[in-house]
Each structure stands twice: as C-alpha cells, then as structure tokens.
Copies of this chain bind each other. A is one copy, B any other.
Amino acid sequence: MRSTEVKIDLRRGRAACIGVGTELLGNNKLDLNSLEITEVLETFGFDVVEKRVVGDEIERIATAVRDLMMECEVVVVTGGLGPTADDVTRKAIAIGLGREIEFDAEVEALIKKRYRVAGRVMPEVSRSMAQVVAGSQVIHNGCGSAPGILVHEGLGLLAVFPGVPWEMREMLNVHLVPELERRAEGRMRRSRTLLLGGVGESDAEQRIHHLYDAFGRRNVSILASYGVVRLVLTASGEETRVEARLDQMENAFREILGEEVAGTDVPGLAHAVVPRLVETGMTVATAESCTGGLVGAALTEVSGSSAAYLGGVVSYSNQAKEKFVGVAEEILIEHGAVSEPVARAMAVEIRERFGADWGLGVTGIAGPTGGTEDKPVGLVHWAVAGPSGVEARHRVFRGDREIVRQWSVNAVLDLLRRRLG
C-alpha cells in the first residue's frame, strides 16, 4: 500500500470526466461535454487520465466518483442533476464520498424564485433539486433550474454540472475556471493550431519530424481531415512564457512548411481565404458540379463573407453548365462534363458572368456510381480563374461520396488561397 502522502502527490495535475445518463450509452450519442471540459482542464495544465460514461445508476456513479477521486486532483461530473426520478447524481455523489445528503431550504428558496421569475410555480418534483451533499458548495445555474455542486476534499475537487451543454458551459467558466486557475499557480498549457492546405499527413509528418525532438513529441499533434492537416502545437509552463514558446514553435514550423500553412487558429480554409479577399477588396464566384453547393456553403460559413462572395451556380446538369455557367457545348461533348477543359471553362465563365475577381470551378464524380475505367469514382477536376489567368488541377480522391466532396471543397479553396498569396 502506498502511504497517503504519496497518493496525494500522485493525484496532483491529474483529472477525469464522468458523463452520467443512460442516453449517453446508446449508439447515437457521445459525451460531447467532456471535450469542452478537457479543453479547459488542459489550458490549466491538467492531464485528463480517464473518461467514463455511466447510466443513471446510483451504484455505478458512486463507484466512478470514488475510484477517480482516489486518483485525480479534479473530477468533473456532468448530468443527472434534474428533478426527475432518473436524476440520481446528487445521491450517488453523497454515497461515493461517504457523506450525508441534506435538504437545504435556502437552495429551495432560490429554485422557487427562479420559477417565480419565469411566471411559474415550482412543481413538487423539483424539491429534489434542493437536496444537497453535506459540506458541499451549491452553485447557481444561470441558464436553468438545476444547481451544480462543488466539493473540496483535501487536495481533491469534485465539480458536478448539469448535462445540458449551455448550463454546463456557464458553470464551467464561472465556477471551475477560477478554481483551476488558482491551482495552476501561474502554470498554463496553451495550444495553437496551424492549418495546412494541399499537403498530405505523411508528407507533412516527414518534413517536420525532426522538430518533434526539438519541441517534444507530445507537444505536437497532427490531425488530417480530407484535404487539410491541422498541426496542434502545445506549450506549458509559466503563463508569461507560454506565448513566447508558442511563437517560437510556430516560427520553426512555418519556416519549414512555408506556403503550406493556410493560417493560425482558423477553423477551415474558407476562414483563411475570405478575410484575405475582404482585406484586398476582391470578390469571388463559384461554379460547382459534384460539390452541389458545398464550396458556396463553406465560403458563406464565414461571417461577413457577403463582402467577398457574390454567389454562384450549382450546375448539376450539363444543360445548367451550358446555360447558366456558359460552358460551350462543344467542350462538354468533346471532353465530357468531368474534364480539365470543363473545370477551366466553369471557372473562367463564372468569373466573367458575376464580374468577380476570382472564379472557381469544380467538376467530378463523387460516386458511388457513375465511374468508368477512364474516369473512376473520385476523379475531380478543379480550376481557379483570376486576374492573371486560369489554373487547373485534378486528382482521384479515395473515400465515400461525402469524403470525395469534402476533399474537392478543400482542394479548390486551397488553390485559391495559394493564388491569393
């Protein structure tokens, strides 16, 4: 047996999440709350060492709390705090920590008030939410009726929040962040993400591999997703030094990756491209076939995109390519709808029609049917027409219909990005 002191030492900096709710154990729901909680925990230098999802079962919740509080400094539980018979988390926490559960009239008064403000009378069943774990701190729910719970136990901290994402989020920021900040004592962990376009995961890895040693393998992670690669750089330490360290890392990676880097902390290629267009007062129009509107959808996902995106045509039929984009019938007949000349014509003609600075064209076979030996499923041609002419590319993307479409969107946005410089 380890002594108590050693155990306490081992707990420091370790954290765990417990998601409560039978619905989280089905085949269509995941404990998404744990991602936000993990992000906050990591910011303050905590390592999440385990995540559990348990149903609305008192014993199992109690066991999870007991097990993980033995090993972690911070445990965050979400779900099961509502007023119905399913909501057993309060009772389970008390059992797991070996504490009493008590009725708290003050808490009841607060819950009643909340109902009153909303013009309703507190239903009898909601009284159960005024049952509190002895010695715990009841925390106010700014967005709903179920209060949260904080329990300090020696070094350990147990935080219990409702499962409703916005209620959880508010309590996380208002009540857990200051606690974590205090415990971190100026130590932080921050991340910065470089978005790479038009480069494969293994190519990127090959080129940056030697930097892993310089910065530590666990401080760099690489995530690939159909035409973009995200490089997550992480630094920990004294708050004041973390940003400097991240700058140093970013510079080192940018030096090697050069123009593969589309941006820092941007969610996608459109978020790198649109601000660049707006900044320079330039406009873009789109002609899409296999992507069916996804390129326009990606550009307009960016708030403020109306200053740069004029619009476009989804030319799913050949007739639409001729009539609404302006692709000459001869080109379609000679080369077929999925061909470089058609992609080029789409980009050039849509630019012309909309009077835009840039025109994008995409045509391809997303599958699962429609492929031939010459033109297999996954073949996509894309082109970008601009002030200095038109450039085209093609590739056979592997994956299902949605994956081929996603690749295509990123491919054409990346070509535009590179031409914008």
User: Could you list some 18 contacts between A and B, CB below 8 A?
Assistant: A23-B221, A26-B38, A27-B36, A28-B232, A30-B31, A30-B34, A30-B35, A286-B293, A292-B296, A292-B297, A292-B299, A293-B296, A293-B300, A296-B314, A301-B401, A311-B316, A311-B320, A320-B354
Q: List B contacts of A401 (CB < 8 A).
A: 301, 303
Q: Interface digits, A30-55 against B, CB 8 Å rule (1 contact, 0 not)? A: 11101110110010000111111111
Taking CB atoms, residues of chain B closer than 8 Å to A320 are 310-311, 354
- Interface residue from B47, B53, B288, B313 paired with A324 (Cβ < 8 Å): B313
A54 to B72, CA, bound (A): 13
For chain A residues 275-329, which have a beta carbon within 8 Å of chain B? 286, 288, 290-297, 299-301, 303-306, 309-317, 319-320, 324
Q: Closest CB of chain B to A41's CB: distance in Å?
A: 9
Q: Is the CB of A324 within 8 A of B303?
A: no
Kindly provide the distance from the CB of A369 to the nearest chain B CB, expressed in whole angstroms: 7
Q: How far is the CA of A48 from the CA of B301 in the complex (A)?
A: 37
Known contacts A35-B30, A401-B303, A53 near B50 by CB under 8 Å: yes
The A interface is mostly helix, strand or loop, or mixed, namely mixed
Residues of B within 8 A of A294 (CB): 293, 297
The verdict on A368 contacting chain B, using a C-beta distance below 8 Å, is: yes
Residue of B nearest to A302 (CB): B401
A405 / chain B contacts, CB cutoff of 8 Å:
297, 301
| Complex-state Cα separation, A375 to B347, whole angstroms | 35
Given the complex, which residues of B lie within 8 Å of A38, measured CB to CB? 25-27
**Given A52-B52, A221-B26, A324-B311: A316 and B300 within 8 A (CB)?**
yes
Most B Cβ at <10 Å: residue of A23, A314, A320: A314
Interface size band for A: 35 or more
Binding site for B on A (CB under 8 A): 23-32, 34-36, 38-39, 42, 47-55, 57, 60, 221, 223, 232, 286, 288, 290-297, 299-301, 303-306, 309-317, 319-320, 324, 353-354, 366-369, 401-402, 405
Q: Are B50 and A60 in contact (CB under 8 A)?
A: yes
B312 touches A313 (CB 8 A): yes
On whether the beta carbons of B25 and A49 are closer than 8 Å, the reply is yes
Q: Which residues of B sit under 8 angstroms from A23, Cβ to Cβ?
A: 221
- The docked-state distance in angstroms from the alpha carbon of A410 to that of B89 is 36
- A364 to chain B minimum Cβ distance, whole angstroms, is 12
Give the shortest distance, in Å, between A194 (CB) and chain B (any CB).
14
- Cβ of A312: which chain B residues have Cβ within 8 Å of it? 293, 313-314
